[in-house]
Chains A and B, each alone.
Chain A
Amino acid sequence: MTGRCPTIFVRPVLAVVAACLALLAAGPLMAAGDGRAPKSPGFSFQGPFGTYDRAELQRGFQVYQEVCATCHALKYFAFRNLRSIGFDEMQAKAIAAQYEVTDGPDEEGEMFERPAVLADYMPAPFANDNAARAANNGSLPPDLSLIVKARAGGEDYVFSLLTGYEDPPADVELGEGMSYNPYYDGSQIAMPPPLVEDGVEYADGTKASVERMARDVTTFLTWAAEPEMEARKRMGIKVMTFLVLLTVLLYMVKRKVWRDVH
């Protein structure tokens, strides 16, 4: 390697890096819609060592069950997944049994209803999209299984949306049945404010403030979108440690091999 290499590269590379940083600072790479920039309340699962708080997950599941599930499906969520958010098998079976699912055909060729078991998926609130629109003033409530990954801003956006309802400014005329939420693209959202103070009675006795419920259900929905996240970060630490050690060793081998060339 030439000794000149650093002086050739350092300055232009720094210039390019500086240009990139300036571009990044000037705004996110992808335009994130026209809504207000989301709040960052801070969640336990953020950061390289972050994990889901099991109590938050279970409370969040309760909020989903009692509030969101009225309109929103969660199609990739199976009752067996309840084991991963800290319920034991008996509790998970009891929760599943609260739901009726369609099975069949039986020996007479008829479809029949039965209580859900762990292998079943969460039933949707509406039979199809048209039924969902008909019940919701023409708007389609999206499935929530991937909502945190499917929105710019992720968990911060979902939390901000749930807690961000406001009275509309004087110059804004809301459409029929619409609510004002500056975090939503266009600020007019068909979902009425879903969370009200003490809207659910938490099984663990926690006071159900709007902020508490929003935080809990956001945590639950993040888990629903990324159930692998804890395993991923745990594996990441091992892989990174291994790779860094390997690379240090390779660096030392390279120095030794090249000693006679320099």
Chain B
Amino acid sequence: MSSPGSGNRIVQWIEYRLPIFSWLDHSVGSGYPAPKNLNYLWNMGSLAGAALVIQIVTGIVLAMHYVPHGDMAFDSVEHIMRDVNYGWLIRYIHANGASMFFLVVYIHVFRGLYYGSYKYPRELLWWIGLAIMLLMMATAFMGYVLPWGQMSFWAATVITNLFSAIPLIGDPIVTWLWGGFAVDSPTLQRFFSLHYLLPFVIAGVVIVHIWALHTHGSNNPAGIDVKGPQDTIPFNPYYTVKDLLGLGVFLIVFAYWVFYNPNYLGHPDNYIPANPLQTPPHIVPEWYLLPYYAILRAIPDKLGGVVAMGAAIGVLFLIPWLDTSRVRSATFRPIYRQFYWILIADILVLGWVGANPPEGHFILIGQLATAYYFLHFIVIMPFVGWFETPRQLPDSIATSVLDKGGGVDSAKEGAQ
């Protein structure tokens, strides 16, 4: 859509009454300028949006066949897998889609962390994004309960029991959450209701996220502000076609899981019907929650573990201020950049510990990795920001694109 209202009279008629074409143009069209140096990590936002749409569409179809009742849920899932036309396809897309959604969202978050996308003036954008991530976790957890297999049931038991750590009112809260005195059909039914509701809440918060994004525009790999039209290109066609290319690659990876390895990311125990009398030997969450699970178990006290797990995400809300450097992009921060990759390794270690039973050396490794996680944000981030000497920033996005050599010879000033 080039200049809105041009040409077509029907378009003009609508545009005069409801300026939807100019709105689109300013949102994802040629009227929305974007930095010209965005790399492929900037594809993740549109991919997350695509993943959300895929989850909602497949989820609506699944809900037509699923029965949210303790006695029938497991059978109804097998009914979907065996008797519903292409039910297996819809369910495998939905189940693996959750993993794909988290995959792109985590890359999106770590991209923001690397390039300082949380810094002025994008603090609220970052907060809204974290809110989306929390909503996703709640939605994914409740969705995982719905097949009512062994892991569903015991995950629901473990996670709802976390609320019993709250002093004084913990136990009544857990009973209230369960809708009874144990995880049972009422729990399943309310989880189904909320699992259907929350994706639409996410969609609403995503709109606010994009609103905040479009107020100051995308950050970019150089982490410097757009200084003029020479630094930008129109979103359409440049980033629409680049996002479509990313979508193609994303769907290839997605299709691999759905068609060739649909159960790898799940747990075999979830094909055993829920049994309140038999606890599985190892209760583990899906891979995307493993690092938090490791942090939860690293603290040998229930309330302490819950607080630590909450703080692991809570601390992310504070990093716009914990990061004291005025340079956004880690590309120009030689010290911080190394700590960034150590943090990534630390989180992978946490995930590995979370997948294993809390015994032997896993306990110590989990505790050290948890300690380092908080050390990174609370100590390393502010101190590196104070003491590090950043490399010289490029003059502008345009010069950083032209100068592919690395250093910036025409730089007049260093860190701004």
Q: Using a CB–CB distance below 8 Å, which chain A residues touch chain B?
A: 1-5, 7-8, 12, 15-16, 19-20, 23, 29-31, 33, 48, 76, 142, 145-146, 149-152, 154, 185, 225, 227-228, 232-233, 235-236, 239-240, 243-244, 246-247, 250-251, 253-254, 257-258, 261
Contact = CB atoms under 8 A, between A and B. Distances in A.
Nearest to A258: B238
Nearest to A249: B248
Contacts of A239: 255, 259
B300 to A, nearest CB: 21
Nearest to A227: B82
Contact of A232 (B78, B251, B262, B348): B262
A48 B258 CA distance: 12
Interface in B45-102: 78, 81-82, 88-89, 92
- The number of chain B residues touching the other chain, given as a range, is 35 or more
Interface string B280-297: 011010010000000000
B400 interface: yes
B221 interface: yes
B348 A235 contact: no
B208 interface: no
Interface in B371-416: 400-401, 404-406
B259 A235 contact: yes
A1 B251 contact: no
A2 B281 contact: no
A23 B268 contact: no
Nearest to B407: A4
B220 to A, nearest CB: 9
A2 B248 contact: no
Interface string B254-275: 0110111011000111011000
A15 B245 contact: no
A247 B250 CA distance: 10
Nearest to A253: B241
A31 B357 contact: yes
A1 B39 contact: yes
A30 B355 contact: yes
Nearest to B262: A232
A261 B404 contact: no
Contacts of B271: 146, 149-150, 225
A86 B145 CA distance: 36
A101 B268 CA distance: 31
Contact of A240 (B78, B92, B255): B255
A2 B268 contact: no
Main secondary structure, interface of B, reads helix
B331 interface: yes
B222 interface: yes
25 contacts: A2-B222, A2-B401, A3-B404, A3-B405, A16-B345, A16-B348, A31-B356, A76-B78, A76-B82, A142-B272, A146-B78, A149-B268, A227-B82, A228-B82, A228-B88, A232-B92, A240-B259, A243-B251, A243-B252, A247-B252, A250-B241, A254-B245, A257-B237, A257-B238, A258-B242
A239 B86 CA distance: 14
B401 A48 contact: no
A233 B245 contact: no
A19 B347 CA distance: 11
B175 interface: no
A261 B401 CA distance: 9
B189 to A, nearest CB: 24
Given A247-B245, A247-B248, A12 B341 contact: yes
* Smallest CB-CB A-B distances: 9 pairs: A236-B259, A3-B404, A247-B248, A150-B271, A228-B88, A250-B245, A149-B271, A146-B271, A254-B245
A185 to B, nearest CB: 7
Contacts of B233: 261
A82 B167 CA distance: 58
Contacts of B39: 1-2, 5
Contact of A33 (B222, B281, B345): B281
A257 B88 CA distance: 39
A172 B357 CA distance: 25
B244 interface: yes
B158 to A, nearest CB: 16
A146 B78 CA distance: 9
Given A239-B255, A257-B238, A4 B348 contact: no
A20 B67 CA distance: 38
A257 B243 CA distance: 13
Nearest to A29: B355
A31 B282 contact: yes
A145 B79 CA distance: 12
Contact of B400 (A2, A19, A154, A257): A2
Contact of A16 (B251, B262, B344): B344
B160 interface: no
A48 B331 contact: no
Contacts of B324: none
A57 to B, nearest CB: 16
Contacts of A246: 248
B37 A2 contact: yes
B345 A19 contact: yes
Contacts of A253: 241, 245
Interface in B87-129: 88-89, 92
Contacts of B299: none
A212 to B, nearest CB: 26
A150 B244 CA distance: 38
Nearest to B282: A31
Nearest to B344: A16
A250 B37 contact: no
B194 interface: no
B249 interface: yes
B35 to A, nearest CB: 10
Nearest to A4: B406
